[in-house]
Chain A
């Protein structure tokens, strides 16, 4: 496999991990009864 393809796939894997983490984080927000943050989990507004 070409080196640039390996780097590309690694970047895609990291990005995919970030997307999955975001989904899991939202699930955690939904499960929490009481807010402990300062606003929107994705944008920080609040």
Chain B
């Protein structure tokens, strides 16, 4: 008998539509990336995908497949906003009408019993289903043997063993997706509802299926993961190990990046110098040299730090250590009234607050979610890194403290810890006042430790570098040009009695930027800042790195030599000849940046995720105001206390 005509044309007339679903941390995104060749972010912990992500691939015979990666879900009775996204697609209630032809359920072979709950529910939706039995290698190493033909018989759908991280089982899986599309949908056993009776019956049936299909070889309870966890999860040793790892990471950011940073700095200065020689004297030359090279170049030099920091974060995520860090933090989070699930958004906040805030969609309770949204921007994001690195590298000496850690690395660690500790304290405050509610426990799964795949690690570092370079080439470039124009026009009248340096200072003071800076100087003067710092802080509202590029542009327009920005900052003096920048001012400025919400993207996404409209704006205003007050107050305290202690 011939197959039905319409499904047989799938892949040729239109792509086969496949929705991927599965429990959190089963390797859905890894499988999605392996099938499509895309590079979605992968982590060895739950909750990495919070939105629907689409990708396509073409088979050798020209058939096309579109795959939708859905957020991880434990069941089809959705609780959190991200689970709701998955449910809407599968029930064909999605606003974009993305109706799947086949549902690919990714099942963790190590935890078959738990994963079958969702898989069995999906099998009852009336849609063709294929099950990818992923991490089959890990299951075998745990002494778990699965009778796959028997499992196919029990479930009534194709089951394909895969190892997504190594690309194993992909060809049979691709073929199975097309085969399943023309097979009748599996028959339903239970109703899909949240009633205790149905859940109990389903669990009993799953237990029987597992008993018939899974055999476990007796194995030692003392696996390598268990041995590492004996230290990593120890009450005292665990937090200590976490601190040591973080200290080493931040020290490496300084020590390892220094030669590369110097090389990029020399290259940028040399190219800027060469371009300056080629272009005739005039506005265009000043724009390119003082605006573009001094502005964008001063930020670009921090590329090695970004690469090293995200290399380490990727290593810790993919190895499974971050899940242990979440476990260590869980007790602390619950004490301050935050849900354990808040850890992942807060962790994402170290890269950028925007995905961090979006990751709060995994949190079911609106008050838990809002409290997390309000504190995520306190986690030091990668855009703060150039600010910290410039100020620490310029004003904090590299005094050795203990073997492997000097004062520069320790200062950086302190800034990150300050943001994290404050986030927890503020969350506690919100949970006891505006967002009062019960604290819910979190079920946390500790994945086994894995060696990170070098290619995957390199890809994730390269993606972060691309993000950084894209920012430098777009928002930082355009703002550097605009700020250059503001620092250059209107032109100050020429005065023959002035030296070239005095003329440039007069030009800056006469410019629109200078006038604006002088106008806001009284507001920043109590913190010990001059108008140039004030202007740079205001400009960095577009993106925090713009603080560095604005400094580069201001000192590019205002200086005649092409020295590096750090040298210019050290040499800057006020009218009385006293240095404008001191270690105390630098520490105060860093503390200001730990707390201040200088990021309009974060404000926009807070408005949206906190409910949109007036409610969203209200919470975004609360967030902006409390963070600004915290930034201003603590920077002022640093200055006052520092001076009392004899620092300058």
Residues of A within 8 A of B (CB): 2, 4-5, 7-8, 11-12, 14-16, 18-19, 22-23, 26-27, 29-33, 35, 38-46
Contacts and interface: CB of A to CB of B under 8 A. Distances in A.
Contacts of A33: 608, 612
Nearest to B383: A43
Nearest to A37: B51
Nearest to A27: B604
Contact of A30 (B475, B542, B604): B604
A28 B484 CA distance: 28
Chain A binding site: helix, strand, loop or mixed by DSSP?
Answer: helix
Interface stretch (B297-305, B321-329, B350-358, B572-580): B350-358
B283 A5 contact: yes
A41 B601 contact: yes
B477 A4 contact: no
A45 B358 CA distance: 11
Contacts of B282: 2, 4-5, 8
A29 B604 contact: yes
Contact of B467 (A14, A35, A41, A43): A43
A42 B543 contact: yes
Contacts of A40: 352, 354-355, 601, 605
Interface of B: 51, 53, 280, 282-285, 287, 351-352, 354-355, 358, 383, 464, 467, 470-471, 474-475, 477-479, 481-482, 484-485, 542-543, 600-601, 603-605, 607-609, 612, 616-617, 620
A34 to B, nearest CB: 8
Contacts of A15: 477-479, 481-482, 485
A43 to B, nearest CB: 5
B352 A30 contact: no
A22 B477 CA distance: 13
B603 A22 contact: no
A31 B51 CA distance: 19
A12 to B, nearest CB: 4
B470 A43 contact: yes
Contact of A11 (B351, B481, B620): B481
Nearest to A22: B475
A8 B51 contact: no
B470 A44 contact: yes
Nearest to B616: A30
A35 B607 CA distance: 12
7 contacts: A12-B482, A16-B485, A18-B475, A30-B612, A35-B608, A35-B609, A42-B601
A7 B283 CA distance: 9
A13 to B, nearest CB: 9
A42 B355 contact: no
B399 to A, nearest CB: 34
A18 B478 CA distance: 7
A11 B287 contact: yes
B67 to A, nearest CB: 15
A46 B353 CA distance: 9
A31 to B, nearest CB: 7
Contact of B354 (A19, A22, A31, A39): A39
A42 to B, nearest CB: 5
B600 A23 contact: yes
B354 A7 contact: no
Contacts of B605: 29-30, 40
A42 B624 CA distance: 19
Given A15-B481, A19-B479, A38-B51, A46 B600 contact: no
